[in-house]
C-alpha cells in the first residue's frame, strides 16, 4: 500500500487527565476516500480523540500523523499549513457571532486565497446551496436556528474544498430530512471527490448510512472496529447494546461523580485558569 493512501495515522495514542487515561493506547489508520465514524457513549473520549487529530491537544504519548506528517511535534506555524488541507465542523457550529453567515463561509477564502470578491461570493453561494441555505448570506448567526448554524459550519468547513473533513456530531439537532441531506452531501463528497471524512456521531442511522468503517470507543480504548456490516454482526454485547440503543446491557449506566468529572475534563485543576491558554491545551 503506498504511503500516500494513509491520510491519518494514529499510533499508541495515550492521553491522561491527572492519572486517569481518557485515551489509552489508541491506534488506527484512515485511508484516502474512507469515511470513518467514531462512536461511543457520552464522555468516552470521542471529542478528545478528535482534538488530538486536529492538533488542538497534545497527547501524553503516542503519535498522530496527518498527510504523513507527525503533528504532535510540529510548531504552530507548520500545523497551520496542514490545517489548510482539512476542514472541521464543530458540534455547535462555532460560527463567529460578529460576522454574517456569508462572511463566516467567506472567511477562510478571504484569509487564505487571493480570489476576487466576486469569485468568493460565488463560492459562498454555492457552498450555502450545498447545505440547503441559499439566500441566508446576510443573516447573523444568532438569527438562525441551531441546526442551521451547524449547516453553515459545514459550508465553512468545505469552503476551501478540503481533502479531509472532521465532523463533531454533524447531525445532532437536525431533523430527519436535514440529517439525510447532510449524510448525502458527505457521501457525495466522499464518493465523488474522494474526500476523506472522520465523523464523530451518536446517531446510528446516520452512522450506518455514511460509514465505510466504524470505530467504537469505550473504557479509553477501541471496543470494536470494522465495516458497518462487521459492526452490525459483532458478537460484542457492548456494541450490540450501543447500536440498538438499549438501556439494559454491559455498558455501565451511571458514572460516579468523580469519574464523570474526569470525562468532562472539568476536574478542578490548580492551574486551570492560567493554563487555559487559547493556543493549545497541554495539561
Within 149-178, the residues that bind another protein by CB under 8 A are 156
CB 209 within 8 A of CB 181: no
- Answer yes or no whether residue 92 interacts with another protein by CB under 8 A: yes
Within 35-64, the residues that bind another protein by CB under 8 A are 54, 56
Residue 171 CB, nearest approach to another protein (Å): 18
- Pairing type for strands 164-168 and 86-89 reads parallel
Short-list 70, 20, 47, 7, CA closest to 197: 7
Residue 276 CB, nearest approach to another protein (Å): 4
Q: Which stretch binds another protein (CB under 8 A): 10-18, 83-91, 128-136, 234-242?
A: 83-91
Phi and psi torsions of 76, nearest 5°: -50, -45
- Answer yes or no whether residue 114 interacts with another protein by CB under 8 A: no
DSSP element (H, E) containing 225 = strand 221-226
Q: How many residues bind another protein (CB under 8 A)?
A: 31
The secondary structure of 63-77, three-state, reads EEEECCEECCCCCHH
Q: Binding another protein by CB under 8 A: which of 42, 96, 161, 230?
A: 96
> Cell numbers of 162, please?
478540503
Q: Round to whole Å and give the CA distance between 73 and 282.
A: 12
Within 220-249, the residues that bind another protein by CB under 8 A are none
Q: Which residues bind another protein (CB under 8 A)?
A: 54, 56, 80-81, 83-84, 88, 90-92, 94-98, 107-108, 111-112, 156, 266, 270-279
Amino acid at each position: 500500500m503506498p504511503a500516500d493512501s494513509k491520510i491519518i495515522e494514529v499510533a499508541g495514542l495515550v492521553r491522561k487527565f491527572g492519572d486517569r487515561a481518557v485515551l489509552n493506547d489508541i491506534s488506527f489508520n484512515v485511508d484516502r476516500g474512507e469515511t470513518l465514524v467514531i462512536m461511543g457513549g457520552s464522555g468516552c473520549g470521542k471529542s478528545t480523540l478528535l482534538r488530538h487529530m486536529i492538533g488542538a491537544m497534545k497527547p501524553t504519548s503516542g503519535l498522530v500523523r496527518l498527510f504523513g506528517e507527525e503533528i504532535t511535534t510540529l510548531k504552530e506555524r507548520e500545523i497551520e499549513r496542514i490545517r489548510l488541507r482539512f476542514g472541521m465542523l464543530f458540534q455547535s457550529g462555532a460560527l463567529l457571532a460578529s460576522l454574517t453567515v456569508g462572511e463566516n463561509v467567506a472567511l477562510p477564502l478571504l484569509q487564505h486565497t487571493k480570489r476576487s470578491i466576486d469569485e468568493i461570493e460565488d463560492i459562498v453561494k454555492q457552498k450555502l446551496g450545498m447545505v440547503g441555505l441559499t439566500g441566508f448570506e446576510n443573516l447573523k448567526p444568532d438569527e438562525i436556528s441551531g441546526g442551521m448554524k451547524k449547516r453553515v459550519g459545514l459550508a465553512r468547513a468545505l469552503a476551501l474544498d478540503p481533502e479531509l473533513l472532521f465532523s463533531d456530531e454533524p447531525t445532532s439537532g437536525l431533523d430527519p430530512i436535514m440529517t439525510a441531506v447532510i449524510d448525502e452531501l458527505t457521501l457525495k463528497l466522499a464518493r465523488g471527490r474522494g474526500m476523506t471524512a472522520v465523523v464523530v456521531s451518536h446517531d446510528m442511522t446516520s452512522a450506518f448510512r455514511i460509514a465505510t468503517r466504524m470505530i467504537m470507543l469505550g473504557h479509553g480504548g477501541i471496543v470494536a472496529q470494522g465495516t458497518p456490516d462487521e459492526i452490525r454482526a459483532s458478537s460484542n454485547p457492548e456494541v450490540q447494546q450501543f447500536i440498538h440503543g438499549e438501556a439494559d446491557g454491559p455498558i455501565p449506566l451511571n458514572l460516579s461523580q468523580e469519574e464523570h468529572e474526569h470525562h468532562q475534563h472539568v476536574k478542578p485543576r490548580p492551574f486551570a485558569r492560567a493554563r487555559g491558554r487559547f493556543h493549545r491545551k497541554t495539561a
